[in-house]
Amino acid sequence: MNTIALVGAQWGDEGKGKVIDILASSADYVVRATGGSNAGHTVVCGENVYKLHLIPSGILYPNTVNIIGNGVVVDPKVLLEEMASLKAQGVEFGKNLIIDVRAHVVLPYHKTLDELAEKAKGKDAIGTTKRGIGPCYADKSDRIGIRMIDFIDPDTFAQKLKSNLALKNKIITAVYGGEPLDYNAVLDEYNGYAKQLAKFCCDTGAVLYDAIKADKRVIFEGAQGALLDLDSGTYPFVTSSHPITGGFCAGAGVGPTAIKECLGIAKAYTTRVGAGPFPTELNDEVGDHLLNVGHEFGTTTGRARRCGWLDAVILRLAVRINGLTSLAINKLDTLTGIKKLKIATHYMRDGQRVDNFPADISLLERCVPVYEEFDGWTEDISSVRSYDELPQNAKKYIDAVERLCECKVSMIGVGADRDQNIYRDR
């Protein structure tokens, strides 16, 4: 079997787009199975920078089929805008993109409700991307969601939109004091999108199953990261899907034996956007270094990311819940020039050692990271292509990651470009 899952091992933004893009060049299929337009992948290819939110990264290769699986929540407007901007950069759309008929559709009321709910939470706001992700998944669980199959059938869409909008408008006005949405305006606008997207819709799970049986090369492309998982992450400061390898199975319509390798992607340090606990966060000049040298600003929202030391406690959680077979460590070059580097090995709370990531965020907030310290390096590593050529201290850092996370490091990123990598295990 020729299948691999690429999954975020921290709080998202680990540079998955770059790794996915490298592997996508030799993939037959690239599958998105979770999340929606809350995700943002930046792929740098020479002079060209591609920003992807919903479309899998294989779209940059003409012979790769890109699947938006049943577990994704699809915002048709964002998807069509993204297609238009890729078309302007020379990407053609034909048989290289398919969308599952079971995928749920993000509609304007989901975005309105996301925004209003966040505002109402005040200081307890999650810091969502306001892309309507939570409200859309909530409708899916509540069994009132509108799926692509409903969306592309004008009669079904009109009828489901009518009943949903009646209910949502009551919530928008009576609960939040917001402005109701106009049924006819939404219907007309979104019918236009449905017409354009209908030809891309099919049962992608069946297509994928046949591809795997035929030993095609398949990549499951993760969005977000392990710590944002609805069950295992820093609940409630999480997203509303399962951005972990188990979630890829449900969201792509295949079983767990369909995934052979699970590659976790992490940065050489940690970042997080939005609210919620972050034990190794740095609010000092090292944090500023990581923010500025690492260009840590969100692809989707442009927000500055919170930055901190690498945390082996969260990476061990990622290894466990994803069944990782190896790790890719990105942005090692961002650490160049920092005199002393630190990795959190475990936490201490009320005099007790904590090795496993706590479920209760109020307990987590009381955890103090315990660090192992490493000497840094000053040499420019951006043109290093083999492990042996890395400065001794950089090698020590990577060896420590393997030891503390109990997972081998198969790939190291030393720059944003596609070829700025060190492979230890192809």
**Catalytic residue numbers?**
13, 41
| Binding region for ligand IMP (CB under 6 A) out of 7-15, 148-156, 334-342, 344-352 | 7-15
Q: 69, 274, 308, 369: which one contacts ligand IMP (CB under 6 A)?
A: 274
Q: Quick count: other Cβ atoms within 10 Å of Cβ 297?
A: 14
d(CA 415, CA 239): 28
Q: Does 252 bind ligand IMP (CB under 6 A)?
A: no
- Smallest gap from Cβ 198 to ligand IMP, in A, equals 27
Nearest distance from residue 261's CB to ligand IMP, in Å? 22
Question: CB of 362: closest distance to ligand IMP in angstroms?
Answer: 18
Cα 59 from Cα 129, distance rounded (Å):
24
- Nearest distance, CB of residue 282 and ligand IMP, angstroms: 18
Q: Which of 38, 57, 330, 334 binds ligand IMP (CB under 6 A)?
A: 38
What mask, x for binding ligand IMP by CB under 6 A, covers residues 153 to 192? ----------------------------------------
Q: Which residue from 3, 232, 239, 334 is in contact with ligand IMP, where contact means CB under 6 A?
A: 239
The residue among 364 and 422 lying less far from ligand IMP, judged by its C-beta, is 364
Interface map 119-148 toward ligand IMP (x if CB under 6 A) = -------xxxx-x-xx--------------
**Structural contact between residues 56 and 36, judged by C-beta atoms closer than 8 angstroms:** no
Nearest C-alpha neighbor of 238 from the set 225, 248, 229:
229
Residue 82 is a binding residue for ligand IMP (CB under 6 A): no
CA 147, CA 138: separation in Å to the nearest integer? 13
| 17, 40, 205, 308: residue in contact with ligand IMP (rule CB under 6 A) | 40
* Contact pick of 5, 12, 278, 312 for ligand IMP (by CB under 6 A): 12
**Looking at 5-13, 195-203, 251-259, 382-390, which segment touches ligand IMP (CB under 6 A)?**
5-13
Please, which residues bridge with residue 307 across strands? 271
Distance of closest approach, residue 300 Cβ to ligand IMP, in angstroms: 6
Nearest residue to ligand IMP on Cβ basis = 274
Identity of the residue, 96 or 270, whose beta carbon is nearer to ligand IMP in the bound complex? 270
Is 34 a residue that touches ligand IMP (CB under 6 A)?
no
Near ligand IMP by CB under 6 A: residue from 72, 197, 208, 223: 223
Nearest-approach distance from CB 275 to ligand IMP, in angstroms = 6
* 228 near ligand IMP (CB under 6 A): yes
Does 345 bind ligand IMP (CB under 6 A)? Our answer is no
| 10 binding ligand IMP? (CB under 6 A) | no
Residue 328 interacting with ligand IMP (CB under 6 A): no
Q: Does 246 bind ligand IMP (CB under 6 A)?
A: no
Surface-to-core class of residue 402, CB atoms within 10 Å of its CB (0-12 exposed, 13-18 middle, 19+ buried): middle
**13 sits near ligand IMP (criterion: CB under 6 A):** yes
Contact region with ligand IMP (CB under 6 A), list: 235-243, 311-319, 322-330, 393-401: 235-243
Question: Residue 274 Cβ, how far from ligand IMP at the closest point, in Å?
Answer: 2
| 270 contacts ligand IMP (rule: CB under 6 A) | no
Q: Quote the tokens at residue 212.
A: 């795997």
Closest CA to 152 of 84, 103, 95: 103
| 116: contact with ligand IMP by CB under 6 A | no
Burial class from Cβ neighbours inside 10 Å (0-12, 13-18, 19+) for residue 226 reads buried
**Site of interaction with ligand IMP (CB under 6 A):** 11-13, 38-40, 126-129, 131, 133-134, 223-224, 228, 237, 239-240, 273-274
